[in-house]
Amino acid sequence: MGTSITNKNIKATREKLIIDWVLIVLGIFSASLGLKGFLLSSHFIDGGVTGISMLLADITHIPIAVLLFVINVPFLILGYRRLGLGFAIKSTTAIAGLSLCLALIHFPDVTSDKLLTAVFGGFFIGVGIGFAIRGGAVLDGTEIAALLLSKKAQILKVSDIVLILNVIIFGAAAFLLGIESALYSILTYVSASKMMDFILNGLDQYIGITVISAKSEVIRKVITMQLGRGVTVYQGKSGYGKDGHINDPRDIIFTVLTRLEVPAIKDKILKLDPAAFIIQQSIDDTTGGLMKRKKEH
């Protein structure tokens, strides 16, 4: 039995590793297409280290393939120290692969239209970054630096630091490349960010619903039996309510739904208990659990 379980674990690990590397390779080619097939010929840039490399390449005429790898090296070292050897190996290979693709593979200019260039250049870069992250690597070291800075600053979040860095980059682009190129570059960055979010989080946006109600058992049955969703029940106590009762025991129900299912379940809950307290929060991703409806027999 023990040998069988070990073999299954080894097989699962091997399959995951293969999938990770397939995603990283797809990410490299997608990002390369976005850069060479759209952005570089139009002198538009993306955000982060990629944007800095593109900006410097345009000014100094040093090949972007060289700049992209060299500028990312300090971030890869930081990533190794904070996130481990596996992450560092994957990310180094991914960034080196992207640099080699940019240096050796010819991608024809897909379109001369500036709007299409900005939107679809960002589209392919975002897809590439998303695939790489899915595979456990990064194609841009900016987020590594932002993560470390946010832990030191504590006041700023990772997204805040990324935004500040990109404001500086696009400000420099406006000064060096012109306002029009900078504005199209911002559009590229927005397009890339949206596609990266889509690849990482999927079409279904998950919402966590917490329900505090005196009729929690009835609500739990409706969610599990009628809607086919899993729930978690917490044991809680109320504070000082309108009725004056302190520490009145309550079951607190938590469930995760897709965004489209939220209105229907809130309507059912409020029909059962108009006084129910419902808390709604966004969830970036989920793993395991009962996330799909049970099939009705």
Burial 153-179 (b: 16+ CB within 10 A, else e): eeebebeebbeebbeebbebbbeebee
Contact 126, 191 (CB under 8 A): yes
pLDDT at 297: 42
Residues 159-212: tens digit of each pLDDT: 566 777 888 889 998 888 889 989 999 999 899 988 888 887 765 567 888 998
Q: How many CA atoms lie within 13 A of 131 on its CB side?
A: 20
Q: For residues 242 and 215, state if they share a domain.
A: yes
Q: For residues 79 and 157, state if they share a domain.
A: yes
Q: For residues 190 and 224, state if they share a domain.
A: no
Interhelix angle for 158-176 vs 142-153, to 10°?
120
> Residue 252 falls within a domain, yes or no?
yes
Residues 239-248: tens digit of each pLDDT: 665 555 566 7
> Residue 295 falls within a domain, yes or no?
no
268 burial class (0-12, 13-18, 19+ CB within 10 angstroms)? middle
Q: At which residue do the structure tokens 């990629």 appear? A: 50
- What is the total count of domains within the chain? 2
Q: For residues 12 and 74, state if they share a domain.
A: yes
Beta bridge partners of 258: 206
Which CATH number fits the domain that encloses residue 254?
Answer: 3.30.70.120
Residues 30-72: tens digit of each pLDDT: 999 999 999 988 888 888 889 899 999 988 889 999 999 999 9
Residues 96-139: tens digit of each pLDDT: 999 999 999 988 888 889 999 999 999 999 999 989 988 888 88
Looking at the whole model, is its pTM more than 0.85? no
Strand order in 249-258's β-sheet? 232-237, 249-258, 206-212, 277-283
Q: For residues 109 and 45, state if they share a domain.
A: yes
> Residue 28 falls within a domain, yes or no?
yes
Q: For residues 103 and 189, state if they share a domain.
A: yes
Q: For residues 9 and 135, state if they share a domain.
A: yes
Q: For residues 34 and 181, state if they share a domain.
A: yes
Q: For residues 232 and 156, state if they share a domain.
A: no
Domain that holds residue 225: 206-283
